[in-house]
Amino acid sequence: MPTYVIEPHWANWMLSLEMFVAGLAAGIFFFIALANTTGRKEDREVGAILGFFPAPLMLIAAILLTVDLGEPTRFLNLIFTNPAAAERPGPFFLNPSSPMNYGTYVILVFGALTVIPFLDALRHTGRLPFGHGIVERLAHDPVGMFICAVFALATGSYSGVLLNVTNQPVWSDTYIQGGLYVVFSALGGFAAAGIAADRMRARETAGAVRTGLMGITLLAGVLVAVFVANLVALGVAQPLIGTTTAFVAPAFWIGAVGLAILYPLVVTTTGIRLQLARVNVSSLAVVGTLALLGVFAFRWSILHSALAAVAH
Amino acid sequence: MTANAKGMFVDTTLCTGCKACQVACKQWNELPMEDEAAVREHRAFLATSYDNTGHLSSTNWRHVKFIEQFSEDRTDARWLMMSDSCKHCEQAGCLEVCPTGALYRTQFGSVDIHQDVCIGCRYCVGACPFGVIDYNGRTGRVNKCILCQDRMETGDGTACAKSCPTSSLTYGRVEDLKAMAAARVRQLHAQGKTDAYVYGWDLGNSGVITQGPNKGQVVKDMEVVGGLNVFYLLMDQPSVYGLPSAPQLPQRNMTPSAGVALISAAVLGVTGLAAFRRRRMEPAMRGASPPQAPQAVS
Ligand code: SF4
């Protein structure tokens, strides 16, 4: 069967960055929701500082998207039925068979919710002039945070489901992209939390992050194994396994598998202490930074795999 | 299917590759040449065969394909030609994923684009199983054949079909075109050309390929993605013409993908909770805070 593929423009670096940034915001918010509702005092302190990140990250994602697509006012067509599309009922637009439509609403709600941890971070650092009580209640209410976590995870999985629902090689060859994307988002969130816990010398939180990273990397490893096995069984794994087009295979194996999954998994399960030129490379700060690089490599390699499939 | 749907029947056996349809399409729709990048990268005009554009694009809504087949000793050869465009699918992947309603089904059953509603997200580009729809870098929107909507409204039919000197392209009611296609396949079979079959609708014909590398293979009429309002009479396997043998709707993945995402999210939730409840302490962290007893959530 002939393969048709999107223009290279579609898979440019900006889109990888957009997905990475929005996924990271989702992952961090997921961690904050857990820390604020089930964590100890120290976890909540780390969560409060991390609260500074999701809102600006979502803002960066919105700016990147605007630069990528141009004409931001046209985005309103995603939400409100344009009068020119008279065949569709209004006033809000919803195409039930388009994941992008659901995703738009999910991201919109999630973007609004990121204001809560941001205000809580301001409150925590004494920079919020008013509304302390309500912000604290909102940021620590178990039901509210559960809803926030649901939106965070939905945002994390969105790009993966979007890629799955296409006719592009690798992207739509399996059902697993949505699962992979949400797990890599959470991985990014815990990696960022690891860096914060290390910098804040929050020992208790570091313990939770290590345990969390262990479980999440294990889950990511299982999903990646199923994903690759699935592609191999279908005979379409070449772009991810062997092509250097757009650095797809190196980014996937070294970045996504090596840095984001295997390294954190080994360090967290064995508790090994590795020293490299007097730097403790098994510290959560280093593990977290490398894992974030790996999460970006994952987005990059998956996004470019469709192009690599055709180049191959 | 839209009652009285209009479409086109493309009889590839009658195509001489003159490209009158390609020119008529360009002219009627005032389509410019491809952008500078395409010219620079030699994608705008191939000049490597009689196929001059090589593919459909945002400015080439119709493309005449030249398929050259040679025997191994190169003493025998044949050309297969096919005037290609958007198929105006009954179940259109592009339309089903469009998040703004820019792509819509017209009163004639064709798939058109509201240019002022399109946001240029390019989701439809990745969703079309035929690689038809294309992003236009000049306008920041997508383009494809719109079956000459303006001409259909005035009852003129498509510009390409009007200009075709051999009636390889016929415009009309899809139901009438199907009857025409069935009759044409029967006629070709009666002449010993058992290769002929219909791609787009199952009209009940089957035959055997008599020429080329796929000689001896069985071919059958095939209905794809709910039927194509622009459909084809082919003389070889679909892949020979660059057509997918089993095109699929992108929506096939929606529920399973969302399901896997949901299960993964649930596992993540449990993993996250477990991480905070059963944390494994880090090896001594210099200057770290002392361990604390669990506290109630504030
Ligand atoms: S061929 Fe592609 S662009 Fe045309 S209607 Fe079908 S899915 Fe849409």
Tens digits of residue pLDDT in A99-155 = 999 999 999 999 999 999 999 999 999 999 999 999 999 999 999 999 999 999 999
Task: With cut-offs at 50, 70 and 90, classify the pLDDT of residue A13.
Answer: confident
CB-CB under 8 Å, A97 with B254: yes
In a domain, A138, yes or no: yes
Using a 6 Å cutoff on CB, does residue B98 contact ligand 1? no
* Contact across the interface for A164 and B254, Cβ inside 8 Å: yes
pLDDT beyond 80 at A311: no
| pLDDT number for residue B193 | 96
Give yes or no for a contact between A33 and A148, defined as CB atoms under 8 angstroms apart.
yes
Predicted local distance difference test score (pLDDT) of residue A101: 95
pLDDT the model gives residue A243? 81
CATH number of the domain residue A169 falls in: 1.20.1630.10
What's the CA-to-centroid distance between B255 and ligand 1, angstroms?
22
| pLDDT for A10 beyond 70 | no
Per-residue pLDDT at B290: 47
**Do residue A43 and residue B258 have CB atoms under 8 angstroms apart?**
no
Choose the residue to mutate in B60, B63, B94 for probing ligand 1, maximizing ligand atoms within 8 Å of C-beta.
B94
Q: Is the pLDDT of residue A231 over 70?
A: yes
Task: Give the pLDDT of residue B283.
Answer: 55
Q: How confident is the model at residue A197 (pLDDT cuts 50, 70, 90)?
A: very high
ipTM, interface predicted TM-score of the complex? 0.95
pLDDT at B51: 83
Beta carbons of A98 and B96 less than 8 Å apart: yes
Q: B10, B128, B134, B252: which to mutate for ligand 1, most atoms within 8 A of CB?
A: B128
Per-residue confidence band for A1, with pLDDT thresholds at 50, 70 and 90: very low
Closest CA of chain B from A125, distance in Å: 17
Q: How much is the pLDDT for A9?
A: 52
Atom of ligand 1 nearest to the CA of B145: 4
Q: What is the pLDDT of residue B25?
A: 98
For residue B225, give the ligand 1 atom closest to its CA: 6
Residue A30 is part of which domain span?
13-311
Which range among A6-10, A303-307, B80-84 shows the weakest confidence by mean pLDDT?
A6-10
Distance from residue B148's CA to the centre of ligand 1 (Å): 15
User: Is B6-248 assigned to CATH 3.30.70.20?
Assistant: yes
Can you tell me the mean pLDDT for A201-222? 97
- The protein residue with its alpha carbon nearest to ligand 1, atom 4, reads B86
pTM: 0.91
pLDDT at position A203 is: 94
Q: Determine, yes or no, domain membership for A4.
A: no
Nearest atom in ligand 1 to B86's CA: 4
More confident residue, A246 or B27: B27
Provide the domain count of chain A. Answer: 1
The pLDDT assigned to B282 comes to 58
Q: What pLDDT is recorded for position B287?
A: 44
Contact flag A212-B250 (C-beta cutoff 8 Å) = no
Task: Tell me which residues of chain B have a pLDDT lower than 70.
Answer: 36, 43-44, 281-298
The answer to whether residue A7 is domain-embedded is no
Residue A168 lies in a domain: yes
> What pLDDT shows up at residue A7?
53
What's residue B208's pLDDT?
97
